Structure 1
Amino acid sequence: MSVKRKIITATAIGALASVTTGPAFAQEAITIASWGGAYQEAQRKAWFDIVEEELGIEVLEDTTSGAADVRVQVASGSPTWDLVQQGNYTCALLEKEGNVEPLSPEVLAVPGIPDSMKGDGWIGNLVYGAVLAYSDEAYPDEKPDSWVDFWDTETFPGPRSLRRSPVYNLEAALLADGVPVDELYPLDVDRALDKLREIKDDVMVWWSSGAQSAQILQDREVDMAMVWNGRAQSIADEGAPVSITFDEQVVLSDCWIIPKGAKNKDLAMKAIEVMSRPEVQARIALFINYGPANLDAFDTGVIPEDVAMGLPSHPDNAAKGFVLDAKYWAENLDRLTQEFDFFIQE
């Protein structure tokens, strides 16, 4: 057979295969976009492999950098992503904008995930905390363990750091000013900004990334900071003399959404249901220092006790903090971000 004929024959066979099997394969795969890196590698081991095995489908992967990506996908009219990971107030915002598919009753009925970590079109999949972290070298004796202590520059002198965002900061300021946790929302913004002005001169760095927040602690540019627990724990595990407290932590969750118009939304819905089950949720803590959003995961025996006690969503730690009000921030993020930027520039 000539080379030319071989090519024609191969092409014909390929075309026939695409006709006979193409639609089936298209229905047997979903594309999940997450944050990439070590976290997405952990998701693959903890969750995606389980989805593939149980549903008999292939999970393809991509990465996202935030809500703008989802808006572009939906605006195209033909999203290539079937399932996307976002932060909880971003999920609530995308739902408000009409950019997500409503979740099925079966998904929303999965027991163990608090109502504060789900909406009509999103559901929490892991938990992390915005916590107070500090240098053990700066505070060898008495340790700060509240936002009142963060504001107490006499007892705990030294440079501080906060995130360059109103989110978390307004809540922490109100707690430092004596507002009870159950009376935080809706936030008294003027009161919070007034409280922030008290320590503004002591905030040496307004960090803009998790990596930056960890680095300035590790390098002793600051002695105390509000950071994501996983970031502080990672440098502590590497030997940095840094500790955290879960007291008054802001309990945060990332979540799943299905972009509006996703072609494989039914399969994506089934994947969410599998990944939301307690015994599957629990697996994430085996591969990275984040907690399951499904609190029943702590009763499965999958997570070793010493690991569980260091997770922000462990019942003992979660009880020390409060869950960020995603719906409040979905309604007010743009306005308060602008107001906070003006505050930074005062």
Structure 2
Amino acid sequence: MTKRLCIHGLVVAGLLASVAVPASAADTITVASWGGTYQEAETKAFFDPTAKDLGVTIKQDTTNGLDDVRLQVTGNAVKWDITELGADECARGSKEGLFEKLDYNVIDKSGINPKLVHDDWVGISYTSVVLIYRTDVFGDKGPKTWADFWDVQKFPGRRALSGSQATETLSVAALAKGIPIDKVYPVDIDGALQSVDKVKGHIDAWWTSGAQAMQLVKDGEVDMASIWNGRAGTLKKSGAPVSFSFDQGVLTADCMVIPKGSKNKDLAMKALAKFVSPDLQANLPLYVDNGPANEKAFETGKIPPERIKDINSAPENVKKQVLQDPAFWRDTLVEATEKFNNLIQQ
């Protein structure tokens, strides 16, 4: 997804490789992810340890998302053995038949939310949409819920929401109506659009990238915003006067797939099994703020206790959030996005 590229930036495609020993083509797989600091973290957390454990070479590339996979598969020119996608993309690509079936005799799916375990794709990590506000404007009495964010009388100030991620903004719009976190899905799209319409006139910026959202808050151009937790964490660590929590956050997942036609399907299956294992999943939050998809990662003892409270997919934080349902957006995304775009552009 373009979203992840906005979060993490790009690396030079094809230059990275996790090498255990000199390997033949049969002992080499290519993995594509989002680039930047996120892929660097995955290299340390997943790719290097897997290459060492399996005695293989893992070459790396970067992806722009589902369109890239579709192009390779339909053109009979598959060059990736594993690629990362947003979970909604995985759901849509599965419907199109773009992925190989996964062997759950090889891949241990225990510890991964069933919504992220499917015949041909599996969850790998989480990002959260959270509400952030500037403490130099509100002190410690800033907006804590999306209903607060929508309440322009009680919490006057400049606001920003995502204009590029309809699924996320419609989810928080549903929460703003007072819908409990366990009742948000299936989203009442028309009701959520009505909720967006109520606050639309008070939105000073519709951000289209994680970098833009962070800059708006950092520069004080807005006083409150929806933002991805990694960007929020970066702001807080930099000393910016901000506050956020995972209360009413929206958990969005990334997944991994084996594109249909991979020439190294069996080896890719073994590598993917390593990537989603609790031991390697526990490595990820040591390098970035994306949470592990396998909750058993928190039982390994590898993640320091003081770090766990800041990880979006830690069990206590998951309870506070809405987990996006990829299957729901598989069938509704196109129409919902069109309606959302039309609304915010009016």
Partners of 1:201 and 1:239 in 2: how far apart?
31
Q: Could you report, residue by residue, the CA deviation over 1:26-73 in whole angstroms, capped at 9, with x for unpaired residues? A: 210000000111111111111111111111110000000111111111
Matched, 1:134 2:150: no
* Alpha carbons 1:78, 1:262 under 8 Å: kept: no
Q: Could you report, residue by residue, the CA deviation over 1:181-215 in whole angstroms, capped at 9, with x for unpaired residues? A: 23222221221111111111111111111111111
What is aligned with 2:88?
89
Matched, 1:150 2:149: yes
Matched, 1:266 2:266: yes
Give the length in aligned residue pairs.
Answer: 323
Q: The residue matched to 1:43 in structure 2 has which SS?
A: helix
Q: The residue matched to 2:137 in structure 1 has which SS?
A: coil
What is aligned with 1:167?
167
Partner amino acid for 1:149?
Answer: D
Q: Could you report, residue by residue, the CA deviation over 1:208-265 in whole angstroms, capped at 9, with x for unpaired residues? A: 1111111111011111111110011112211211221100111111110111111111
What is aligned with 1:332?
332
Q: Could you report, residue by residue, the CA deviation over 1:318-341 in whole angstroms, capped at 9, with x for unpaired residues? A: 110121011111111111111111
Deviation at 1:287, TM superposition (A): 1.2
What is aligned with 2:28?
29
Partner amino acid for 2:243?
Answer: S
What is aligned with 1:106?
105
What is aligned with 2:291?
291
Deviation at 1:109, TM superposition (A): 3.9
What is aligned with 2:226?
226
Query: CA 1:140/1:107 → structure 2, altered by over 3 Å: closer, same or farther?
Result: farther
What is aligned with 1:323?
323
Query: CA 1:99/1:202 → structure 2, altered by over 3 Å: closer, same or farther?
Result: same
Deviation at 1:141, TM superposition (A): 3.4
- Map 1:169-184 → 2, pairs under 5 A: 169-184=169-184
What is aligned with 1:305?
305
Q: Could you report, residue by residue, the CA deviation over 1:116-136 in whole angstroms, capped at 9, with x for unpaired residues? A: 222221111111211111111
What is aligned with 1:57?
56
What is aligned with 1:314?
314
Deviation at 1:277, TM superposition (A): 0.9
Q: The residue matched to 2:233 in structure 1 has which SS?
A: helix
Deviation at 1:148, TM superposition (A): 0.9
What is aligned with 2:13?
none
Q: The residue matched to 2:249 in structure 1 has which SS?
A: strand
Partners of 1:253 and 1:63 in 2: how far apart?
18
What is aligned with 2:120?
121
Of 276-285 and 102-111, the range deviating more from structure 2: 102-111
TM-score (norm. length: structure 2): 0.91
What is aligned with 2:343?
343
Partner amino acid for 1:146?
Answer: T
Structure 1, gaps ≥5 residues long: 1-23
Q: Which has the higher helix share?
A: 1
Of 168-177 and 224-233, the range deviating more from structure 2: 168-177
Partners of 2:286 and 2:332 in 1: how far apart?
36
Partners of 1:87 and 1:345 in 2: how far apart?
25
Partner amino acid for 1:214?
Answer: M
Partners of 1:308 and 1:111 in 2: how far apart?
20
* Alpha carbons 1:135, 1:224 under 8 Å: kept: yes
Partners of 1:35 and 1:194 in 2: how far apart?
34
Deviation at 1:114, TM superposition (A): 0.9
* Alpha carbons 1:129, 1:312 under 8 Å: kept: yes
* Alpha carbons 2:173, 2:192 under 8 Å: kept: yes
Query: CA 1:187/1:110 → structure 2, altered by over 3 Å: closer, same or farther?
Result: closer
TM-score (norm. length: structure 1): 0.91
* Alpha carbons 1:108, 1:123 under 8 Å: kept: no
* Alpha carbons 2:107, 2:270 under 8 Å: kept: no
What is aligned with 1:21?
none
* Alpha carbons 1:148, 1:177 under 8 Å: kept: yes
Of 207-216 and 189-198, the range deviating more from structure 2: 189-198
Partner amino acid for 2:117?
Answer: K
Partners of 1:224 and 1:60 in 2: how far apart?
41
Detail structure 1 runs of 4+ shifted over 6 Å in the superposition.
none
Partners of 2:213 and 2:261 in 1: how far apart?
37
Structure 2, gaps ≥5 residues long: 1-22
Deviation at 1:305, TM superposition (A): 1.0
Partners of 1:217 and 1:149 in 2: how far apart?
18
Matched, 1:236 2:236: yes
* Alpha carbons 2:30, 2:59 under 8 Å: kept: yes
Q: The residue matched to 2:24 in structure 1 has which SS?
A: helix
Deviation at 1:107, TM superposition (A): 5.0
Q: Percent identity?
A: 43
Deviation at 1:108, TM superposition (A): 5.3
What is aligned with 1:43?
42
- Map 1:179-198 → 2, pairs under 5 A: 179-198=179-198
Deviation at 1:307, TM superposition (A): 1.2
Partner amino acid for 1:277?
Answer: S
Partners of 1:276 and 1:233 in 2: how far apart?
24
